[in-house]
Amino acid sequence: MNILLVNDDGIESKGLEILARALTPHGKVYVSAPAVQQSAKSHAISLSSTLKIEQAPLIPGTLGALKVYGTPADATRAGLSLFNIEFDLVVSGINDGPNIAMDILYSGTVGAAKEAKIYGVNAIAISADNLELDYLYDEAIKTLDEVIENKSYINDGILNINFPKFSFEKPKGVIYTHQGRRYYHSEFVKKTNEEDTYYLKGSLTRYNEELTSDVWAFENGYISITPVTLSRTDFDLLNKLNK
């Protein structure tokens, strides 16, 4: 199996190292990642500018690495094109911070995985509350082993996997979930010492989440696996309009 690793935290992120170690037993692993931090870039691509792409030092266990001066989706495109290899799977992450609920709309980690799926390659996005979790490496291996062995990644969408809050010594198990509702509400706050300059002050807006949501799983100590599709069509509304 040929596996491409991508992310949005940048080529030097510890998350790539963890994934490389976890996935090497499953095949030949290559890396294509942004040169610098690209969080919250969603599915942006560079259309109106050139892209600088360099060979990067190999992460242990990998066979090739590209440093892409662009977005996470750019990195996915570059890896799929420039390695001249037919990839079987793209794994994005491990992101430093969860990508649950409305985070999915903004996430460069998920965006990079979606770009792979547009190209017809199965994809998994992986995030964790932070990359220093004591259990993360062992649980990443265990989860990826099960997903790959059962071929759960072969579907019409992307698997979005999140490891739970740091307050849990280790995950209680795995729950297959749907996207939750919570989101970050932002306020524009003006800096008093700089004219016409603002910064975003964010706070979480919460809802009563169902027990099958990724938010509930994350906050209650479970690994969540959420299938995410590329289609944005509201079929319920479409059927009503057609009637």
Query: How confident is the model at residue 185, as a pLDDT?
Result: 73
| Mean pLDDT for the stretch of residues 38-65 | 94
Q: What is the pTM of this model?
A: 0.93
Question: What's the pLDDT tens digit per position in 79-108?
Answer: 999 999 999 999 999 999 999 999 999 999
| Contact assessment for residue 159 and residue 122, using Cβ atoms and an 8 Å cutoff | no
Distance between CA atoms of 62 and 158, rounded to whole angstroms?
A: 23
Question: What's the pLDDT tens digit per position in 160-208?
Answer: 999 998 888 899 999 999 999 877 677 777 776 777 787 777 667 777 8
Distance between CA atoms of 161 and 127, rounded to whole angstroms?
A: 6
Beta bridge partners of 213: 178
Confidence check: pLDDT of 78 > 90: yes
Closest CA to 10 of 37, 46, 39: 37
Q: And the tokens for 126? A: 């992986």
What fold does the segment set 2-183+210-242 form as a domain? Stationary-phase Survival Protein Sure Homolog; Chain: A, (3.40.1210)
Q: And the tokens for 66? A: 């590209």
The DSSP-derived string for 108-122 is HHHHHHHHHHHTT-E
Q: And the tokens for 90? A: 């793209």
Query: How confident is the model at residue 22, as a pLDDT?
Result: 96
Share of the chain above pLDDT 90, in %: 82
**What are the sequence ranges of the domains in the chain?**
2-183+210-242
Which backbone phi and psi does 55 adopt, to 5 degrees? -70, 135
149: left (phi over 0), alpha (psi -120 to 50) or beta: alpha
